[in-house]
Amino acid sequence: MAVIELSGVSRRYDQGPPALDDVTISVEAGEALAILGPSGSGKSTMLNLIAGLDRPDAGTVTVAGVRLDKLGEAATARYRRAHVGMIFQFFNLLDDLTVADNVVLPAQLAGMGRADARKRAASLLEALGIARHSGAYPGRLSGGQRQRVAVARALMNKPTLLLADEPTGALDSASGEDVRKLLIELNGEGQTLVLVTHDEKLAAACATRTVRLVDGRIATDTGPGIRPLGPHLAASGVPHGADGRTETARFDADGRRGVTL
């Protein structure tokens, strides 16, 4: 079942060349899609369109059954609350809020009760190993810890999709490895993941499918499949088959797979 469907999507900024040019792609629930390509190839534009942060000039974008190109701003915001968790290269945490307050924010904006939101945030922080930092301000955490906080925030509303824009781009190698494992683990538990990166190693480690963009067009697409068991996964502890491959996780009729986190 396709969670993401882009059909004939084009996007052009001002009078420049198209950032995306007639892109058609379908992503199944539970896939881990890596979007690769050089700078200016349209990776971030594609991610923004899937996240509902931007609208196409042509074509349709459907995510979890919702036609994003038809939505107004308020409906798009509600769509994001329900279906999208985002993590950014520079974390985009709010510096004047504590870790816990950052994490509960999406749930509070969605109207979740205070106690429930705090409870879920606490369990997420615990699961991600940063519970002891819940009262700290982001500025006092390491890059890896901050990205874990960002992941916790992204997962707060149990999103259909986890979108990651260069999630290890601002991290040292140890922290990057840490985040890599986390993403693999999440996808292993059924979380659909769309990853935009320059980092071939990250893509190879995390993705079950890789799309390469060049000048706004899909140059190569490995198609839905399985994540090769590389050294990263082997060390991650993520469950995998005896043949050394991990199958794309199963999902429910809504395209959601409740993560255990």
Partner 1 sequence: MSSLSKVVRSGVGRRRVQTVVIGLATFMAVAAAVLAGSLLVASTAPFDRGFTDQHGAHLSALFDGTTVTESQAAATAAASGVAESSGPFQVVTQTPNLGEGGGGDGAFELQPLTIAGRAQPTSGIDKVSLSDGHWPTSDTEIVLTEQIPLDSKLIFKALPGRPTLTVVGHARSVSRTADAWVLPGAIASLTSAGTKPGYQMLYRFTASATVSDMDTAKAAVVAAAPSGSMLGSQSWLTVKEAADRTAALFVPFLIAFGLLGLVMAMLSVGGVVAGAVSAATFRIGVLKAIGFTPSQVVRAYLLQALIPATVGIVLGVVGGNLLTIPVLAQTDVVYETAPSVVQPWVDALVVVAALGVVSLTALVAAARAGRLRTVDALAVGRAPAAGRGRFAASLSARLPLPRPVTLGLAQPFARPARMTAMLATVVFGAASVALAIGLTSSLNLIETARSHDKAQIMVSPMKMGPPEGGEAMGPPVNQQGPPPGPFDEGGPDPAAVTSAIATVTGTKASYGVLSAPATVAGVAAEVDVLAYRGDPRWAGFEMTEGRWYATAGEAILPTPMLKATGAKIGDTITLTVNGHNISVRVVGEVFSTQNEGMEVFTDLTTLTAVIPKVTPTEYYVGLTDGTDATAYANALETALTPFSLHANVNPGGHSDTLVAISTLTGLLTLILVAVAALGVLNAVVLQTRERVRELGVHKAIGMTPKQSVTVVLASVFLIGLVGGIAGVPAGMALHGVMVPAMGNSAGVRLPAALLDVYHPWVMALLALGGLVIAILGALMPAGWAARIRTATALRTE
Name the residues that contact partner 1, by CB under 8 A: 48, 51-54, 73-74, 77-78, 80-81, 84, 86, 88, 92, 94-98, 101, 105-106, 108-110, 114, 137, 139, 153-154, 157
Q: Which is nearer to partner 1, 83 or 212 (CB)?
A: 83
Q: Closest by alpha carbon to 192, among 93, 137, 259, 260?
A: 259
Q: Which is nearer to partner 1, 92 or 222 (CB)?
A: 92
Closest CB to partner 1 among residues 209, 256: 256
Closest approach, Cβ 237 to partner 1, in A, equals: 29
Comparing CB distances to partner 1, the nearer of 151 and 205 is 151
Nearer to partner 1 by Cβ, of 117 and 202: the residue is 117
Task: Give the integer Cα–Cα distance in Å for 77 and 103.
Answer: 17
Between residues 88 and 222, which has the closer beta carbon with respect to partner 1? 88
